Structure 1
Amino acid sequence: MDFSYASLRRFPDVEAPNLQAWDATDELLVQRALAADVPGDAIAVIGDEYGAITLALTDAGYDGIRVHQDLATGRRALARNAAELRLGGFASHELDASLLEGARLVLLQLPKALSELEEIADAVARWAAPDVVLVAGGRVKHMTLTQNEVLGRVFGTVQAQRAERKSRLLVASDPLPVPDEPPYPQRAEHPEFGLTLVAHGGAFAANRIDIGTRVLLEVLAERSRLAPLAQPVSSRSARSTTREDAAEETTRVIDLGCGTGALAAHYALNHPDARVTATDRSASAVASARQTMIANGVADRVMVTHDDAGSELPGGSADLILLNPPFHLGASVHTGAATRLFEAAARLLRPGGELLTVFNSSLLYRPELTRLIGQTEQLHRTAKFTVTRSIRR
């Protein structure tokens, strides 16, 4: 086949000379599918970051392929690349029965988290055809024997293939009986913050509170005891008595890159009159956050959206943004993801609005926050993390 992988772009995800939209694993998975006697409508693709697997197969004439991508950026990149190449013949799905029913071949780019692999493997065994073959691939340097063990708990046969171009495929077949209930989502109580967290397999930090979020939660709890974090767009007055006026005066808060929703749920619990939005580009995180809001009794006061850096939210709409930005893009260390979120915060905040950010102190984000947002001060610092407050100019 002569599919042009080099024509694919990562956009709207971060683009840089050391980041490309495909790798050798994508090519090996496509070759495996081409060699199998399986029609397109019996193929499911999971973790196709920017569409390399799906579009190479549709370009080869396969029709009816079902695809699941966790990231909103990946979904948009796939749609854009498909439009540029004038390719169709595929449909996007969530990680559910509609993706996998009747699937005889599942192609998987191995996820970073073992918990996500466990959830995916269970879903394949639970919903796909009895003779399904799961072909999972990854870069050798990121693969571990534990991945084989995870697949071996769900499939009777797991075979590692010979490495090619620094990538390797694992072939799993003979699915074993699955338990009545899926292993995810999982929940955990965090009484120190009065929170219950619920997490699907692909959510960062699972149902734990990661150390950065914990530091920011401690700052939020302390500031909530002392004074309001932000004043709403319209200052309160005795004449504001209508429902419209009350809506204008409500403090509007965005948990940008919300993960499992710890920050949004905590804020909603401690500020019942606030209007909170939690948004993340990960579908697994969004599903987790929605369950977290239900578990904490704030689902009616927190809107959770699957979006790329809050792109679908109106500009100047937030009084306060809470942010614990990532410093990885997949397996690569790259600060571009944080910069995109800082730029998004600048667009979303109204003048005078506040951005509270927690980050690894070694990253020295404060000058960038000052440049993109406005005056930035340090609120708290630990041995590893710094919390800053930026005021939108």
Structure 2
Amino acid sequence: MTGFDYHRLRRFPDVEAANLQAWDTTDELLVRHALAAGAPDGEIAVIGDGYGAITLALADAGIAGIRVHQDLVTGRGALANNAAALGLSGWAAHELDRDLLAGARLVLLQLPKALAELEEVADAIARWAAPDVVLVAGGRVKHMSPAQNEVLARSFAQVQPQRGERKSRLIVASGARPVPHEPPFPVRQTHDGLTLCAFGGAFAGSRLDIGTRALLDAMRGLSLPVAAPRVVDLGCGTGALAASFALRNPDATVVATDRSAAAVRSAQATMAANGLAGRVEVTLDDSGSQLPDGSADLVLLNPPFHLGAGVHEGAGRRLIRAAARLLRPGGEVWTVFNSHLDHRRALSRDVGATEQVARTPKFTVTRSIRRA
């Protein structure tokens, strides 16, 4: 244990609730391991630090030159806000690239949920970090599996799970293996003429998830009373909705936005693969916060129903409120969601009149009209 007070951390600007906290035991174990290892300043990289708990505890212990990668822009905001509140500094933010890892001898990782994301991270560390790099990855035991060890073993010769402690466990990997000439991501797959590209952290990978497919099927009959509509794919993921609409509506101005850097990189690759790189703008943003109020004629929305490893409707509700803000009066939001969720009530309250357009055994597609 360090003397750092994790309880002072907040998740803001991400969803906050009584049952959601900005740190867990895994963060503490990773920090303790790093301090015991005594890695010199400038040789530590941190990946997956949700709200800054690892980075700030290391900074509080006097370590400087920390390099940090957080996939979610909300996590990046939380780290900045928590740092300002605690008066801490001493790190630099990076994407998942060579600058993050060059010369790093210790990498601390909060294990991602997706094995593909873990594969991409492990390859990046073996590819760009120091030859003697040690990766210390941790997670909550209930979310860990032997498959994670197998993925790590593709990039490291030694993979050693540690004893569990307070429902968390660390895995220590060392002996970086040679990497293939080209990184394994993005992967790509074509669906009925639409090519989807995905980096490891993108939801559903290069597959077309069944919720998105349901919305795409319903959109075939979509027509707007606007000659050149302004369209926002809010929470775009790999960009399937934005790319499909842009291909069918060449006069539309389309923006695809997501809070995940992996999703944005994937959507950018998707646009390039479909000849849309110059037509569809892809941005990293929290709930379209950088887009003007009342600027969209149409919002396409497939909101998430998970926050990390837990089921929570908060992220979806934030996107519904964002859709209401972005739409002009009379504009439309087309939404797909798991039928058991109460999103239709939220759409009616925050956007306006909402009708069911289609329904499958698992999903509901709705059309909502922005009230004046």
TM interval, shorter chain, is: over 0.9
Superposition TM-score, scaled by structure 1 size: 0.93
CA contact 2:305–2:315 (8 Å) conserved in 1: yes
Alpha-carbon distance, 1:23 to partner: 0.1
CA deviation after TM superposition for structure 1 residue 250, in Å:
2.7
2:60 pairs with 1:59: yes
Alpha-carbon distance between aligned partners in 1 of 2:338 and 2:18, rounded to the nearest angstrom: 25
For residues 1-393 of structure 1, the aligned pairs below 5 Å read 1-191=2-192, 194-223=193-222, 228=223, 230-232=224-226, 250-393=228-371
State how far apart, in whole Å, the 1-side matches of 2:38 and 2:11 are: 31
TM-fit CA distance, 1:40: 2.7
Structure of larger gyration radius: 1
Q: Which amino acid aligns with 1:204?
A: F
Equivalent pair of 1:231/1:319 in contact (CA under 8 Å): no
Provide the C-alpha distance between the structure 2 equivalents of 1:260 and 1:231, rounded to a whole number of angstroms: 28
Q: Which runs of 5+ in 1 are unaligned?
A: 233-248
User: For residues 81 and 335 of structure 2, what CA distance do their matches in structure 1 show?
Assistant: 32
Alignment partners' CA distance in 2, 1:22 and 1:178: 33
The Cα of 1:382 is off from its aligned counterpart by: 1.0
Displacement of 1:116 in angstroms is: 0.1
Q: What amino acid is aligned across from residue 114 of structure 1 in structure 2?
A: L
1:362 positional shift: 1.1
Cα distance between partner residues in 1 of 2:28 and 2:38: 18
Structure 1, 130-139 or 182-191: larger mean CA deviation = 182-191
Of 249-258 and 102-111, deviating more is: 249-258
Aligned partners of 1:383, 1:262: CA distance in 2, in Å? 22
Corresponding letter in the other structure for 1:297: G
Give the Cα–Cα distance (whole angstroms) in 1 for the partners of residues 96 and 346 of structure 2. 37
Equivalent position SS for 2:122: helix
- Counterpart of 2:42 in 1: which secondary structure? helix
Check the 8 A contact 1:65/1:89 in 2, yes or no: yes
Shift of 1:222: 3.2
SS at match of 1:41: coil
- In structure 2, what residue type is equivalent to 1:20? Q
Matched residue of 2:366: which SS? strand
Separation in 2, partners of 1:86, 1:305: 30
4+ residue segments displaced more than 2 Å: none
Preserved CA contact (<8 Å) 2:102 2:129: yes
Question: Within 2, Cα distance between the matches of 1:121 and 1:143?
Answer: 16
CA positional deviation for 1:309: 0.5
Task: Please give the secondary structure, in 1, of the residue aligned with 2:221.
Answer: helix
2:317 and 2:343 in contact (8 A); partners too: no
- Per the TM alignment, residue 221 of structure 1 is displaced from its structure 2 partner at its CA by 2.0
In structure 2, stretches of 5+ residues that fail to align are: none
Q: Counterparts of 1:371 and 1:222 in 2: how far apart (Å)?
A: 25
Residues in 2 aligned to 1:313 and 1:384: alpha-carbon distance in whole angstroms:
32
Q: For residues 250 and 272 of structure 1, what CA distance do their matches in structure 2 show?
A: 9
1:133-155 CA deviation, whole Å, 9 max, x = no partner?
Answer: 00000000000000000001110
Supply the RMSD in Å over aligned alpha carbons.
0.8
State the aligned residue count: 370
C-alpha displacement at 1:37, in angstroms? 2.4
Q: Distance in 1 between matches of 2:146 and 2:173?
A: 14
Q: TM-score, normalised by structure 2?
A: 0.98
Looking at structure 2, the residues matched to 231 and 165 of structure 1 have their Cα atoms a distance apart, in angstroms, of 58
Is contact 2:230-2:297 (8 Å) kept? yes
After superposition, give the CA deviation of every residue in 1:145-183 in whole Å (9 maximum; x if it has no partner). Answer: 000000011100000000000000000000000000011
Percent identity reads 70
Q: Answer yes or no: is the 8 Å Cα contact 1:290–1:304 preserved in 2.
A: yes
Superposed CA deviations along residues 331-376 of structure 1, whole A, max 9, x for unmatched, are 1110011100001011111111000000111113211110010000
Alpha-carbon distance between aligned partners in 1 of 2:295 and 2:307, rounded to the nearest angstrom? 28
